[in-house]
Amino acid sequence: MGVYPHEDLAREVLLAAKLRGRHAALPAMAALLRHRLELPPPGEEVGWTWIPSGSRSQRRRGLDVPARLAGPGAVRLLAPIRGRARQTGRDAHGRRRGARDRFRVIGRPPPAVVCVDDVRTTGSTARAAGLALRAAGAQRVLVATFTVRRDPAQRAG
């Protein structure tokens, strides 16, 4: 589930945080995500984590945007598997194919997990994260994103 469509002001605010170093907005964006989706806070019953950005993106930005959007109390449960192709810049088919077996789980996830990402395009990365968490023992996984971009493969012709 996403908070906003990936357009207009929401898109600009997210891109400013990701690409132009406007990191001061991230705590407010995290609060908006939690408030708008009415999600439970992290605790014993529900764990919060994030879908990690690629190491190249993290180095370029100086931080992991989804980790900041997950907010206080979130715990790192996912790590990318080295050697997997980047999702950025791929078409919808390539994104779906490239997301398979993309993550390994660190530690033991709680029974319910809220997994945060910055933007959802095809849902492939979210699906890969959810499958990894479920295989590691999570019974329920909800993926929450700040914005949702319309999947080009689903556009009417």
Alpha helices in 7-79 (DSSP H): 8-19, 26-37, 55-61, 65-70
Rg, Å, the chain Cα set: 15
Q: Are 89 and 121 in contact (CB under 8 A)?
A: no
Instruction: For residue range 7-21, list pLDDT tens digits in order.
Output: 999 999 999 999 998
Q: Is the pLDDT of residue 99 over 60?
A: no
Task: State how far the alpha carbon of 87 is from the alpha carbons of 29, 76, 123, 148, in Å.
Answer: 23, 20, 11, 15
Q: Is the pLDDT of residue 91 over 70?
A: no
Its pTM surpasses 0.75:
yes
Structure tokens given for 108: 């033991």
**Highest mean pLDDT: which range of 11-15, 83-87, 120-124:** 11-15
What distance in Å separates the CA atoms of residue 47 and residue 51, rounded to the nearest whole number? 13
Determine the 3-state secondary structure of 16 from DSSP. helix
DSSP secondary structure code for residue 123 in this structure: S
* Choice between 93 and 141, residue whose per-residue pLDDT is larger: 141
DSSP code string of 67-111:
HHHH-TT----EEEPTTPPP-TT--HHHHHHHTTT-EEE-S---S
Instruction: For residue range 24-73, list pLDDT tens digits in order.
Output: 999 999 999 999 988 888 887 899 999 998 888 888 888 999 999 999 89
* Closest by CA position to 5, among listed 102, 110, 103, 120: 120
Structure tokens given for 25: 């907005």
**pLDDT of the residue at 152:** 60
Instruction: For domain 2-154, give the fold.
Output: Rossmann fold (3.40.50)
Mean pLDDT of the chain: 85
**pLDDT of the residue at 73:** 92
